[in-house]
Amino acid sequence: MLKINPKFFFFILLIGLAFKGNAQVLSQKLNANWSFQEQDNAKWYPAKVPGEVHVDLMANKLIPDPFYRDNEKKVQWIEKENWDYKSTFSVLPTVFKKQRIELIFDGLDTYADVYLNGKLILQANNMFRQWKIDVKKLVRLKDNKLLIRFRSAQNTVDSLSKADLPYFIPDNPRAYVRKAQFHFGWDWGPKLTGCGIWKEVRLEGYDHKLLEKPFVAPINVELVQQPDDKGTSFYFKIDGKPVYMKGANYIPSDAFVTRMTKNDYRKMLLMAKDANMNMLRVWGGGIYESDDFYDLCDSLGIHVWQDFMFAGAMVPGNKAFFDNVREEVKYQVKRLRHHKSIVLWCGNNEVDEAFNRWGWQNQFRIPPKDSAKLWNDYIRLFRDSIPKWIKEVDGSRPYISSSPKYGWGVKNSFTEGDSHYWGVWWGNEDFEVFEKKTGRFVSEYGMQAMPNYSSILKFTQPQDRYLFSEILKDHQKAGNGFAKLNVYLKNYMIDSAKISRLSVEDYTYLTQCVQYYGFKNMILIHQSKAPYNMGSLLWQLNDCWPVASWSITDYYNRTPKAAWYAVKEAYRDDAKPGDVVKPKDLKLSNPKITYQIKGNQIILKSSSFAKYVFVDIVGYAGKLSDNYFDLLAGKEKIVTFDKKDLKAKEIEVKVKSLWDVVNK
């Protein structure tokens, strides 16, 4: 038997403890004591970190709320200016004693020159990367000066695109910058192209850094794409079991992403969970979401389809751009890979489809040689490079290069890959088209509606509240949006001659009813095609500001729109069959709805069948147990609400049904 000298054992233990102590990483946050200025303006104002320049300007009452009326137009000057941020800090003595000290930026948006004590230490150019700089030789114990000079992203991409001419990267100069693409405007979002220190700043001091732990996959996931007698399957196996995915697309929940708190994320994600969703697709024109988002998805059992942040634009093919994206991909995958919620990495949103079928070559008169280069650069990045970079840090999850595989005008889109079917809305097709055109996994489809009327009251003045006013148009970003909405109102809800005579309040109600009808029946058709179809992800769960959009929830307070209640019922495992009669073809009479309030209950009754009964509690910031429901003659319906979401002492209730609106 081998004998160990106790003194030797004690010596080894001491060495181990000493090494552990030396390997300890001490962290010091540097989020306080910041100020900002319009560059070279010489007047500094308090700033918040993490934060964004628009939010700082609002906090200092230097600009109005861009979400109110047409204020978005009035703040466009901000994107053309350069902005400085500065802070002074002391280093904690315990951190200062460490052999190595790193200054870490978890997120700089986007083109930023960083100076520490007068010395340029970093030139950042990617919103989605973490930046680390060894500053041991530069920092002092006290009175350290940190200056960050942000250059206008809009000016920079405009310059880069002009420098490339006549070579042209469709369809927007934003293609050149690694920044949230929706900042440059979208068909549901404002154009608010800002800058800022959008994530945490800190020092980390250590003597010997601990080795990185080996990665262990937190989930067993397989994307099954097998040929069959109808084409090629597309479905997820989670821990060996096929799962039908019921869910939605997720965009940033605020145009100013740093305003989102963990409670905001919780409220938003509970809206998905409570609507019986089991998947969200994090769309590629936004951001890689916060840790809070993925932590909550983990705990709620919501699977995440994770796009990389590319959407609707081709990419530069130069080495610097590829190197930049490589670091972004490896950093983000390493940051997120431990989350069991993530089940798929996807290269981009609609870029393959856009290049091949949106007519860019003719629209922008792209020569064949340039077209070939654009496509080759696309292939190199999304089909060759990104999957290779992912495998270096996470070989456990499937990857697809683009969503969708084929566009909605291509026959193959119904038999293989995932499908974005936009014949509904963009093509003005009826919802029932899905009976013949449901793909294997429908990862985008949708129907628009107005935001809740309570939101319209917040961003308008009384003189704005008439149909298709300029202010309402400012909050409708989709091309010909109102004209398309009116097509569906005419087809499903009301005679076209009556539409122009509607009040904004009634128009809002009817658009939400048609969105309710559309999502309910589209979802039920998709699910009826299982197992041929194995996924239905509607566009979209949420909004980033108050706007007419495809969202089923409202921006303010994340309250439900009518369609949220429809989706909740349609995604149930025991969902009832879809509608067989269009609402406009129903023979309705005056339901003479009555109600009484008892505690947190509203008890309703009608004298005849009532369609889409809308219960509105004035000032209520929560969701009702049900809304926009059908009410049978003589049968009571109890709707409950949560009093904590109601600030007013007296409860004011308004009730309307489809009959009330179409018979005015």
Statement: residue 502 has pLDDT above 90: yes
pLDDT value of residue 664: 85
- The H-or-E segment that residue 550 falls in is none
CA distance 225 to 242: 12
pLDDT value of residue 67: 98
Percent of the chain at pLDDT exceeding 90: 90
What average pLDDT does range 543-561 have in this prediction? 97
Residue 660 is encoded by which pair of tokens?
């009330």
pLDDT value of residue 1: 39
In sequence order, the 6+-apart residues with CB closer than 8 A to the CB of 159 are none
What average pLDDT does range 558-573 have in this prediction? 97
CA distance 460 to 190: 16
What average pLDDT does range 568-590 have in this prediction? 95
Residue 92 in contact with residue 26, Cβ under 8 Å? yes
Exposure string (b/e) for 219-238, b if CB count within 10 Å is 16 or more? eebebebeeeeebebbbbeb
SS3 25: coil
**Parallel, antiparallel, or unpaired for β 184-186 and 189-191?**
antiparallel
Percent of the chain at pLDDT exceeding 70: 96
Residue 31 — pLDDT band, cuts 50, 70, 90? very high
Residue 267 in contact with residue 61, Cβ under 8 Å? no
Token match 């870490």: residue?
A: 104
Statement: residue 2 has pLDDT above 80: no
What is the DSSP annotation of 29-49?
A: E--SSEEEEETT----EEE-S
What average pLDDT does range 32-39 have in this prediction? 96
Statement: residue 518 has pLDDT above 50: yes
Interval 202-218: pLDDT, tens: 999 999 888 888 899 99
Residue 36 is encoded by which pair of tokens?
């900002």
CA distance 388 to 606: 63
Indicate if 444 belongs to the active site. Answer: yes
Statement: residue 358 has pLDDT above 90: no
SS3 322: helix
Residue type, 256: F
CA distance 375 to 353: 12
What average pLDDT does range 77-94 have in this prediction? 98
pLDDT value of residue 651: 87
Residue 40 — pLDDT band, cuts 50, 70, 90? confident
pLDDT value of residue 650: 80
Statement: residue 400 has pLDDT above 90: yes
CA distance 40 to 282: 38
pLDDT value of residue 23: 60
Residue type, 22: N
Residue 662 — pLDDT band, cuts 50, 70, 90? very high
Active-site residue (options: 72, 350, 353, 569): 350
CA distance 664 to 659: 8
Interval 114-138: pLDDT, tens: 999 999 999 999 999 999 999 999 9
- The residues with which 637 forms a beta bridge, in sequence order, are 604
**Minimal CA–CA distance to 653: which of 579, 601, 610?**
601
Lowest mean pLDDT among 9-23, 421-435, 450-464: 9-23
Indicate if 204 belongs to the active site. Answer: no
Residue 245 is encoded by which pair of tokens?
């995915």
Residue 193 is encoded by which pair of tokens?
């192209």
What is the edge-to-edge ordering of all strands in the sheet holding 303-307?
399-400, 342-346, 303-307, 279-282, 245-250, 535-538, 441-444, 418-420
Interval 140-175: pLDDT, tens: 999 999 999 999 999 999 999 999 999 999 989 999
Alpha carbon 346 to its chain's center: 15
Interval 471-499: pLDDT, tens: 999 999 999 999 999 999 999 999 999 99
Average of per-residue pLDDT values in the chain: 94
**Parallel, antiparallel, or unpaired for β 279-282 and 535-538?**
unpaired
CA distance 323 to 326: 5
pLDDT value of residue 16: 37
Cβ neighbours of 469 (radius 10 Å): 14
DSSP H helices in 166-261: none
Would you call the peptide bond into 64 cis, given omega within 30 degrees of 0 as the criterion?
Answer: no
SS3 content of the chain, % helix, strand, coil (to 5): 35, 25, 45
CA distance 238 to 160: 44
Residue 644 — pLDDT band, cuts 50, 70, 90? confident
Residue 11 — pLDDT band, cuts 50, 70, 90? very low
Active-site residue (options: 289, 353, 444, 569): 444
Cβ neighbours of 151 (radius 10 Å): 18
- The H-or-E segment that residue 572 falls in is none
pLDDT value of residue 14: 34
Statement: residue 288 has pLDDT above 80: yes
Statement: residue 547 has pLDDT above 60: yes
SS3 198: coil
Statement: residue 18 has pLDDT above 70: no
